Structure 1
Amino acid sequence: MAEQNDFKIPIPENKSIDEDFDYSQRGQWLRAAVLGANDGLVSVASLMMGVGAVKHEVKAMVLFGFAGLVAGACSMAIREFVSVSSQLDIEMSHMRRTRANTKERENTEQLPNPVLADLASALAFILGAIVPLLAALFIVNHKLRLAVVTAAITVALVVFGWIGAFLGRTPVVRSCVRVLVGGWMAMAITFGLTKLIGSSSL
């Protein structure tokens, strides 16, 4: 009876299915999605804060924010498609040379997907950009609107930082702090410079 276990494949006690998952495959679209969401959130929020530094009307902030959403999403999608397509061309060329020299079959499952990166970045950018737009849309009071937008962006930055860290299996606190500080700096610099230029005689 003791011989029955000889044909079983030994499994380490501390081995988990999660350890066998190849996160490099997930990174093909995860990088584009995380960057797109953060870019949409920070760039549109900074644009709206800059406009809010010199314009008090809610219509002006929302209009500029919406223009930033559309332009940014298109730019992000085109940039990712061109970038990932170039990367794909390079890797395909390398695979052809390797196959010609070694006569071995190459694994194409891990090749970058330009369309997937394109869609992930554009949709994520829109998702991030919607946050400051919704936060400012129904608030008439100028100071309260700026405060609400700042609070909403702060929460969203932390959430996006946590999502990126969770999916990529990286330190959560470090990721959240990095994203949060970067977003605050972008908004503060845009607000301050726009306020300075708007109050000058230029």
Structure 2
Amino acid sequence: MKKIATWTILACASSLAGCTGAAYSNRSLESVHQPVVRNSLYQFDVATANGELPPSEQGRLQGWLDAMGVRYGDRIAVEDPSAYGASSAQATVRAMVERRGLLLSREAPVTTGAVPEGYLRVVVTRASASVPGCPNWDSKSSLNSANATSSNYGCAVNGNLAAMVADPNDLIKGTSDTGHDPLAATRAIQTYRTKPQTGAAGLSKVSTGGGQ
């Protein structure tokens, strides 16, 4: 009987140790599932002619930007290897980018290969955020003798944060305050306050008689 009781106690202890394994290792309120930001670089070379961007190259660049689906959060820069710089061609690229509601970055990232002579390189940096390892349902049992968080703790909050953030790079380093216009911020409220109320002019008279 003593041997049977001993083996029973060992079996119970082993099962409890299995339940309180890696799935119940985090005893803090800081989630182990954190967003991971990845930056991908896409480059496109366009030819210049006498420092300007020909219409044919503008069409090629326009088609590439359409195919890339550039959007808010993408960083677009121009790499110009020429000594004096093709300012007119850069201005054309800047205008094409601004028509999409974006701004041209001042500094271009390091790209693969050298830019050919007489060409400009347009670089799009696109950031994406995700939470690897989510969802995680390893801790299926409700038994938690370690008083730790579940294996899926933080997946919902951080997963939604990674999916909804406009610029994933803000998860690494938030944008600095570049100044704001308080008048523009309160313009909608001021318009709401100064707009006449709908019932101030009285009720409109509506005839109920049918036309003869």
TM-score normalised to structure 1 length: 0.29
Q: Determine which structure has more spread, i.e. the larger CA radius of gyration.
A: 2
TM-score normalised to structure 2 length: 0.28
Higher percent of residues as helix: 1
